[in-house]
Amino acid sequence: MTASPQVVAPPGACDTHMHVYDSRVPALPGTPMPGDFPVEAYRQVQRRLGLARVVVVQPNAYGYDNGVTVAAMRDLGAGARGVAVVRSNAPDAEIERLTAAGIRAVRVMALGGTIGFDAMDAVVARVHPFGWHANIQLDGRELPEREAQIARLPGRFVIDHTGKFLEPVDVGSAPFAALLRLVDTGRCWVKLSAPYETSRTGPPLYEDVARLARALVRAAPERMLWASNWPHPSARGAVPDDADLLDLLLDWAPDDATRGRILVDNPAELYGF
């Protein structure tokens, strides 16, 4: 591992997508559990990268039980927010409790997650009045078919992992054009993250994903976010170095001002820091 990234994170820099796993809490049957990845291990990542804020995302392993995620947010302190999973009939008291704990979004994951597109509309309608947005992960190649449903969502929504196109696409492709149209709504935010999950060209630059990231930054720098996706539960092969992932911003957003927006200003606006 490199000692530290080349990117000097500005004050208030935020990692908008990571997970905490507690080996003492059993995973749902048939759900991958990558191991024990506690808050203290992530704090070392924070310190090395110079990050001050974080968004803890509910892992698939725990389904509707947000206990590990909420405990992690509490332990990480005032600089932590979260993304939870709730049912469409969750009582007000439960959503209010999670909101008070720092939850700001509901996770929709069409790739074998707890909430898919069939339940998305009802769940988002339930949590939107509490100020939550939708955090959506899908195979980006499905965006032309899903675009209308996503665009109908109330309020803001986030698309994970630079669109997560499970097979590389070009910036001129129909799926990427659908993502850009969603960005053009002014309500769509995109996490520039986890290129190792989908890239065929591979490290260090992940050029097939990088060209999409650069196009997204050009289109809407005010709504791009950065995330580590620590502890990289879906990494194929070697686990990437978090410092190397942060340094990808040198290519994707070459100027300091834009990187400052992506790391500080944009997440502060979206998550209420």
188 in Cβ contact with 223 (< 8 Å): yes
Helices 174-184, 207-219: inter-axial angle, 10-degree rounding: 30
In tens, the pLDDT along 87-113 reads 999 999 999 999 999 999 999 999 889
In tens, the pLDDT along 226-236 reads 999 999 998 87
Identity (one letter) of the amino acid at 81?
Answer: R
Q: What is the mean pLDDT of residues 148-155?
A: 98
Query: Looking at 60, 66, 229, 266, which residue is catalytic?
Result: 229
Alpha-carbon gap, residue 198 to 95, rounded angstroms: 34
pLDDT score of 2 more than 60: no
Alpha-carbon gap, residue 104 to 46, rounded angstroms: 21
Confirm whether 89 is a catalytic residue: no
Residues in the chain: 273
Rounded to two decimals, the pTM is 0.96
Q: Residue 31: what pLDDT?
A: 86
Q: Residue 236: what pLDDT?
A: 78
CATH H-level, domain 14-271: superfamily? Metal-dependent hydrolases (3.20.20.140)
